[in-house]
Amino acid sequence: MRGLMMDSPLLISAIVRHAARNYPDREIVSVTGDNPQHRYKFSDCIQRIHQLANALDKLDLAQGDRVATLAWNDYRHLEAYYGIGGAGYVCHTINPRLFPEQIIFIINHAEDKLILTDPMFVPLLEKIADKTPHVEGYIILTSEDQMPQTSLKNAISYEALIEPESDVYEWPELDERTAVALCYTSGTTGDPKGVLYSQRSTVLHAYAGIAPDVMNLSMRDCVLPVVPLFHVNAWGIPYAALMVGTKLVLPGPKMGDGETLYALMEAEGVTLAMGVPTVWLALLQYMEANGKRLDKLQRTVIGGAAVPESMIREFRDKHDVVVHQGWGMTEMSPLGTLNSPKVGMEDLSPDDMIAVQAKAGRGIFGVEMRIVDDDQNELPWDGVAFGALQVRGPWVCSDYYKLEGSADSHTDDGWFDTGDVAKIDPEGYMQITDRTKDVIKSGGEWISSIDIENVAMGHPSVAEAAVIGVAHPKWTERPLLIVIKAAEADLTKEEMLQWFDGKIAKWWYPDDVLFVDEIPHTATGKIQKVKLRQQFADYKLPT
């Protein structure tokens, strides 16, 4: 027997309608290239979303056509999310930090018809315009008077495009499985792969994101996403915030600028900020150097890479801020786990609590996890066994865009193979031990590069640490520790190795320590292990 409930489709336009009715006065504050502090209300934002959707409908676009954005986090980019996706087009967010060849690849692969771009990326687009033949026009995210001179065809300023349009819009009644957004993986190996989110997956993911043990988002919050709108939907914040009426603070091109981030947090009363560990390193360093303290921030969600214990400790001890680690990936919209304490953990000692927080967190309802060995046998959740992490759920990709069936990413029984190696403890807290490709295979056993990095990062003289496996005649591979010293710190190899005493197993100790000035990062701020391995491919470990 079927239930007798309405079959209302889950559409992002419903979020806009809900926000318009319930939170018209909530604020969105943005830094943009043409305005260091733009401020308006949800009601203004929604009127402009309607204007954009009306404007797009008048252009030569068909439902499902890809409309790209190349932009930082600000109000116009937020409007584009809803104006494009809500009207039935696909909002393809492009990461401006990718190499030009990768940008050309993904624009062509997506067959983008239009590109909405920040003015600062106009020169980049001009350089590659003759290599992206599908693009029919460019909308420059600025006002008419700030419009740059450009050779880009059919270029128009965003404000001139939307200005003549009505601020009332009739949203189309789409099937909830309609595609709404497209984001390509960072592509550390091979070409980037497209992940195509649906209206339904996006709305369900936003519902999950606001839950108390996930991001605990509400109208009482003010959120600063330092996670870019160009990468995995800024962890779903643009949708979740309008769903519950959260004030938004968008840092524009100032994402990596500790001073601006600090000033915004204090001035706007930011209660929750989110970002990858590299971003918070910059902020913590700025505050340390300038004797600043965070008075308003209550919590931060950090993910995208393992969070070092030292960072959790510094936020807690110096700023009274709780760090919630999260794990996810482009293929998962991205939320998979979030770290919040379970009942019964109130009495843990501060050190034991940090040990819990250093894990990636518990599975969010909607994402099922399992860990398996090389023969696909499920491993126990005992906090010891580690294996390939596989997931399934309504906001996990079922395939890659235009690669259907060929990416070898899913198991025969329908789970997505994340490419991560993890262990899960009896309480359900998952901990990433490595990417499958980064794990160090020493004498037939696995060594977690992330565990060694985390311990190294705890040393006060270490600014950043990376561990890779290098070839070893007897053990196949052994760990090499690469370190950037903290400013003016004096640290020797012997002191560094001593630091591991009692913290990791002896056979996990790095065979060598190298001090460098720079560690390469991917376009999303993660350590580029592939590049490091290439750089040190011929490195001979001391015997």
Note whether 329 binds ligand AMP by CB under 6 A.
Answer: yes
Contact assessment for residue 78 and residue 29, using Cβ atoms and an 8 Å cutoff:
no
Q: Can you tell me whether residue 356 is helix, strand or coil?
A: helix
Question: For ligand AMP, which is the closer residue by CB, 334 or 510?
Answer: 334
- Please state the closest distance from residue 31 (CB atom) to ligand AMP, in A: 24
Buried residues in 319-355 as b, exposed as e (16+ CB within 10 A): bebbbbbbbbbbbbbbbbbbbbbeeeeeeeeeeebbe
Note whether 186 binds ligand AMP by CB under 6 A.
Answer: yes
- Please state the closest distance from residue 82 (CB atom) to ligand AMP, in A: 22
Cα end-to-end distance, the chain, whole Å: 71
- Please state the closest distance from residue 299 (CB atom) to ligand AMP, in A: 16
Question: For ligand AMP, which is the closer residue by CB, 200 or 359?
Answer: 359
Using CB atoms within 10 A of its CB, is residue 528 exposed (0-12), middle (13-18) or buried (19+)?
middle
Note whether 420 binds ligand AMP by CB under 6 A.
Answer: yes
Encoded tokens for 199: 């209206």
Which of 138, 262, 327, 416: binder of ligand AMP (CB under 6 A)?
Answer: 327
The catalytic position among 427, 446, 493, 503 is 446
Say which amino acid occupies 129.
A
Which of 300, 524, 525, 527: binder of ligand AMP (CB under 6 A)?
Answer: 524
State the DSSP H helix or E strand holding residue 252, giving kind and residue range, or none if neither: none
Which of 54, 246, 325, 333: binder of ligand AMP (CB under 6 A)?
Answer: 325
Q: How would you write 53-99 as a 3-class SS string?
A: HHHHHHCCCCCCCEEEEECCECHHHHHHHHHHHHCCCEEEECCCCCC
Note whether 433 binds ligand AMP by CB under 6 A.
Answer: no
Note whether 13 binds ligand AMP by CB under 6 A.
Answer: no
142 is catalytic: no
Note whether 185 binds ligand AMP by CB under 6 A.
Answer: yes
The catalytic position among 159, 309, 331, 464 is 331
464 is catalytic: no
Chain position carrying tokens 């932009």: 71
Q: Within a 10 A sphere around the Cβ of 127, how many other Cβ atoms?
A: 12
**Choices 211-219, 314-322, 329-337, 491-499; region in contact with ligand AMP by CB under 6 A:** 329-337
Q: In this structure, what is the dihedral angle of CA atoms 431, 432, 433, 435, given to the nearest 10 degrees? A: 170
Cα separation of 357 and 67, whole Å? 39
The catalytic position among 185, 271, 433, 524 is 185
- Please state the closest distance from residue 55 (CB atom) to ligand AMP, in A: 32
Query: How many Å is the maximal CA-CA distance in the chain?
Result: 73
- Please state the closest distance from residue 169 (CB atom) to ligand AMP, in A: 32
Say which amino acid occupies 539.
Y
441 is catalytic: yes
27 is catalytic: no
Local structure of residue 508 (DSSP, 8 states):
G
Question: For ligand AMP, which is the closer residue by CB, 435 or 493?
Answer: 435
Nearest to 321 by CA among 285, 296, 340: 296
Nearest to 529 by CA among 455, 406, 422, 436: 436
- Please state the closest distance from residue 118 (CB atom) to ligand AMP, in A: 21
Q: Within a 10 A sphere around the Cβ of 154, how many other Cβ atoms?
A: 11
Cα separation of 457 and 481, whole Å? 11
Distances (CA, A) of 187 to 71, 326, 523: 20, 21, 10
Which of 334, 366, 479, 525: binder of ligand AMP (CB under 6 A)?
Answer: 334
Question: For ligand AMP, which is the closer residue by CB, 169 or 429?
Answer: 429
Binding string, residues 290-319; x marks residues near ligand AMP by CB under 6 A: -------------xxxx-------------
Question: For ligand AMP, which is the closer residue by CB, 51 or 325?
Answer: 325
Local structure of residue 176 (DSSP, 8 states):
T
Note whether 432 binds ligand AMP by CB under 6 A.
Answer: yes
Which of 95, 330, 442, 454: binder of ligand AMP (CB under 6 A)?
Answer: 330
Contact assessment for residue 379 and residue 373, using Cβ atoms and an 8 Å cutoff:
yes
Question: For ligand AMP, which is the closer residue by CB, 199 or 325?
Answer: 325
Note whether 232 binds ligand AMP by CB under 6 A.
Answer: yes
Using CB atoms within 10 A of its CB, is residue 186 exposed (0-12), middle (13-18) or buried (19+)?
buried
Going by C-beta distance under 8 Å and a sequence separation of 6 or more, which residues neighbour residue 444? 476
**Choices 237-245, 412-420, 489-497, 511-519; region in contact with ligand AMP by CB under 6 A:** 412-420
- Please state the closest distance from residue 63 (CB atom) to ligand AMP, in A: 28
Question: For ligand AMP, which is the closer residue by CB, 30 or 73?
Answer: 73
Question: For ligand AMP, which is the closer residue by CB, 165 or 451?
Answer: 451
- Site size toward ligand AMP (CB under 6 A) is 19
Question: Phi-psi bin for 298: left (phi > 0), alpha (psi -120 to 50), beta?
Answer: alpha
- Please state the closest distance from residue 137 (CB atom) to ligand AMP, in A: 29
- Please state the closest distance from residue 46 (CB atom) to ligand AMP, in A: 29
* Contacting ligand AMP within 494-513 (CB under 6 A): none
Question: Degrees (nearest 5) of the Cα angle 80, 113, 86?
Answer: 35
Residues that bind ligand AMP (CB under 6 A): 185-186, 232, 303-306, 325, 327, 329-330, 334, 360, 418-420, 432, 435, 524
Residues with a known catalytic role? 185, 331, 441, 446
